[in-house]
Amino acid sequence: MRFHRFSSAGTLAVVCLATAMLMLDIAVVNTALPKIAANLHSNLTGIQWIIDAYTLALATVVLTAGSIADRIGRRLIFTAGIELFTATSLACALASNIALLDAARALQGIGAAMMFASSLAILVDAFPTDPGRAKAFAAYGATMGASFAVGPLVGGALTSGISWRAVFYVNVPLGIAALFASYAWLRESRDPWPRAIDRIGQATLTGGLFLLVFALLRGNQEGWGSPRIVAELVGAAGLLALFVVTETRVQQPMLPLRLFRRPDFGGAQIAAFAISASFFALFLYTTLYLQEVLGLSPIEAGLVYLPGTILMFAVSAATAQLTRRIRPGLLVVAGLALVAGGLALMTLAGAHSSWTALLPGELVVCVGTGLLNPALAAVAMGSISERQSGLAAGVNDAFRQGGIAVGVAAFGALVPTAAALGHGSPEAYVAGMHTALLVGAALAVAGALASAVLLTGLRNEAATGELVPDVA
């Protein structure tokens, strides 16, 4: 296909469509999980892997995908990612058992990594200056937040009205549309001095995160003191430590640790991990609460999130103007503080509450997320030179998706396994959920404090100085 005609507006539309598809796929699955578990005879660990296989693959591959995109072409990697994502969505829809579904989700995560790694870099190339770039980032952030929030409603409607398989089938026409639009409107861009592929770093990061998530998901079942779980945790710590050492020794690391000397770069990654490992990871468990404890149908559970969806979209859209008057770092801090307060408010929900008990906390969390997402995208992409925008996007997405993967696994250790799928005590599940919500709130507070130190000195405009990792 060679019929493309570059358009900045078209580029924004394509990137937002692809981002909506990716974020929908994370959130849309949540409301279908109880039906998937029943239909495929899965336990809690199996359905946790539906989320974590996707996010873990995305988090570990996105940095390498960014390096490859900078080297051979961001548009090329973006479109290849769409093709893989669409094909594996079909494989998910056709899966006959939980193992096949989890495997297909992992491959789907690789396709998503290719799209995520190149999407923000494509936007930077299409919108080289403000105020157009600020508006593009605001649209990107609004799309990300609103798509994630509306996902449960879409997933609930598809699951209740058709079947859980429809939540994956829906990606096929969206993917085909995004692919044709990409060939029509995107132009190619590359880094003139691309980084080499860091194979040792890729292997140690993937292995370390996999062992960590694997141990966290199985710790309750196997026993935290069992030799297998202890060995997995020790192995995870060893591989992640080796990853850090590797990144200080190789000539062209996939994650140049020198970049963290910049407060804005480090702060952006901390904020991304904090929001993802708190609110986005807890989304799974609040959805299970609505369906398995309160007895709501999938579409009813999706409707519970609708007020927050509308509010998040409105706040995200307004942030385009706020970032021109208020330092983006301040918006990130305020967003995380609101997320922390909202998660704490969610503990008002009990085993025999109405769904409205979640609403105050939900609204506060969604306002915070609406403030944070566009501002964080601006900070992340402004913290590094434009020619390394693929690296900046990849690192930020790695921290986002890694946060979800680790958060889902860690919070699962706090929730009784049987109660999560309606087979145990509702009171026990709610007690575990309350603990998880408070831990998530504490994590968001920690992220807000770190962001206050690292980001509040940022100027509105993007950084203009270059910071290129040592290659010698």
pLDDT at 388: 64
Q: Which of 49-63, 76-90, 151-165, 388-402 holds the top average pLDDT? A: 76-90
pLDDT at 103: 94
pLDDT tens-digit series, residues 126-154: 887 766 777 787 777 677 767 766 778 88
pLDDT at 466: 42
pLDDT tens-digit series, residues 246-268: 988 888 788 888 888 888 888 88
Domain ranges of the chain: 8-187+254-455, 198-253
pLDDT band of residue 59 (cuts 50, 70, 90) is confident
pLDDT at 465: 41
pLDDT band of residue 87 (cuts 50, 70, 90) is very high
pLDDT at 121: 77
**Which residue type does 239 have?**
L
For the cut 50, the answer to whether the pLDDT of residue 468 exceeds it is no
Q: Quick count: other Cβ atoms within 10 Å of Cβ 269?
A: 24
Average model confidence (pLDDT) for the chain? 83
344-139-50 Cα angle (round to 5): 55
Give mean pLDDT, residues 350-364.
Answer: 91
Percentage of the chain beyond pLDDT 90 is: 26
CA atoms within 13 A on the CB side of 420: 23
Give mean pLDDT, residues 104-122.
Answer: 88
Give mean pLDDT, residues 277-292.
Answer: 88
Give mean pLDDT, residues 76-99.
Answer: 94
Whether CATH 3.90.170.10 fits 8-187+254-455:
no
